[in-house]
Chains A and B, each alone.
Chain A
Amino acid sequence: MITAGLLMAVTFAAALLAVTLRNVLHAIFGLAVALLGIAGIFITLGSPFVAAMEVLVYVGGISVAMVFAVMLSTVVARQDEGGRRRVWAGLAALGFFAAMALVITRADFGPDSDPSEQAWAVAEIGGDLLTHYNVVFEALSLVLLIAIVGAVAISRREAAASGSARLEPGAIDPDGTGKSDVESEQRGQDA
Chain B
Amino acid sequence: MSNLPTAPETLADYVSGNLWLFFAIATAAIMGYLTLNALFLIWLERKISAHIQRRLGPMEVGWHGVLQTVADMLKLLSKQLVTPRAIDKPLYHLAPVVVFAPVIASVAMFPFAEDLVILDIELSLAYVFVFGGIGIIGIFMAGWGSNNKYALLGAMRSVAQNISYEIPLILSALSVVLLVSGLEPVIINDNDQLRPASGISLIDIAIVQDAKGWWFVLVQPVAALIYFIAAVAETNRAPFDIPEAESELVAGFHTEYSGMRFAMFFFAEYTNMIIVSMVATVLFFGGWSGPLLPGPVWFFGKTYLLIGGMMWFRWTFPRLRFDQLMSFCWTVLIPLSIVNLLVTALVLELL
Question: Which A residues lie at the B interface, using CB under 8 A?
Answer: 23, 25-26, 29, 32, 36, 48-49, 52-53, 55-56, 59-61, 63-65, 67-68, 71-72, 122-123, 168-172, 180-181, 183-184, 187-188, 191
Question: CB distance A122 to B133 under 8 Å?
Answer: no
B212 at the interface (CB under 8 A from A): no
CA distance A29 to B90 in the complex (A): 11
Q: Indicate if B21 sits at the interface (CB-CB under 8 A).
A: no
Closest B residue by C-beta to A67:
B140
Contact segment of B74-82, B153-161, B285-293: B153-161
B positions within 8 Å CB-CB of A: 86-91, 121-123, 126-127, 129-130, 132-134, 136-137, 140-141, 144, 147-149, 152-153, 156-157, 159-160, 163, 166, 181, 198, 200, 242, 248, 322-323
A25 CA to B141 CA, complexed, in Å: 9
Shortest Cβ distance from residue B186 to the other chain A in the assembled complex, whole angstroms: 16
- The answer to whether A64 touches B136 (Cβ under 8 A) is yes
User: Across the interface, do B87 and A68 meet the contact criterion of CB distance under 8 Å?
Assistant: no
- Could you name 7 residue pairs across A and B whose Cβ atoms are closer than 8 Å? A26-B90, A52-B127, A64-B159, A71-B144, A122-B123, A191-B87, A191-B89
Question: By the criterion CB–CB under 8 Å, are B87 and A60 in contact?
Answer: no
| Measured CA separation A61–B87 after assembly (Å) | 26
Interface of A is mostly: helix
- State A191–B145 Cα separation when bound (angstroms): 10
- Whether the Cβ atoms of B137 and A170 lie closer than 8 Å is no
Residues of A within 8 A of B129 (CB): 56
Known: A48-B123, A168-B322. 6 other contacts (CB 8 A): A25-B88, A52-B123, A55-B130, A67-B144, A172-B248, A187-B147
CB nearest neighbor in B for A54 = B130
| Cα–Cα distance between A184 and B145 once the two chains are bound (Å) | 11
In the bound complex, how far is the Cα of B150 from the Cα of A181, in angstroms?
10
- Bound-complex Cα distance A11 to B181 (A): 36
Closest to B92 in A: A191
B126 with A170: CB separation less than 8 A: no
A183 contact set on B, CB distance < 8 A: 149, 152
Residues of B within 8 A of A187 (CB): 88, 144, 147
CA of A154 to CA of B153, assembled, Å: 25
CA distance A56 to B323 in the complex (A): 26
Do A52 and B126 touch (CB < 8 A)? Answer: yes
In the A-B complex, the 6 residue pairs with the smallest Cβ-Cβ separation, listed nearest first, are A60-B133, A170-B322, A170-B157, A180-B149, A52-B126, A55-B130
* In contact, A71 and B130 (Cβ under 8 angstroms): no
CA separation between A188 and B200, bound complex, in Å? 45
List, in ascending order, chain B residues with CB within 8 A of A72's CB.
156
A59 CA to B121 CA, complexed, in Å: 21
Cross-interface CB contact of B152 among A55, A59, A184, A188, cutoff 8 Å: A184
Which residues in B have their C-beta under 8 angstroms from that of A61? Answer: 133, 163
Give every chain A residue within 8 A of B200 (Cβ-Cβ): 122
The residue from B90, B133, B140, B148 contacting A56, defined by CB atoms under 8 A apart: B133
- Give the complex CA separation of A71 and B242 in angstroms: 18
- The reply to whether B126 and A63 contact each other, CB–CB distance below 8 Å, is no
Given known A-B contacts A122-B123, A188-B147, A52 and B130 have beta carbons under 8 A apart: yes
How far apart are A22's CB and chain B's nearest CB, in angstroms?
12
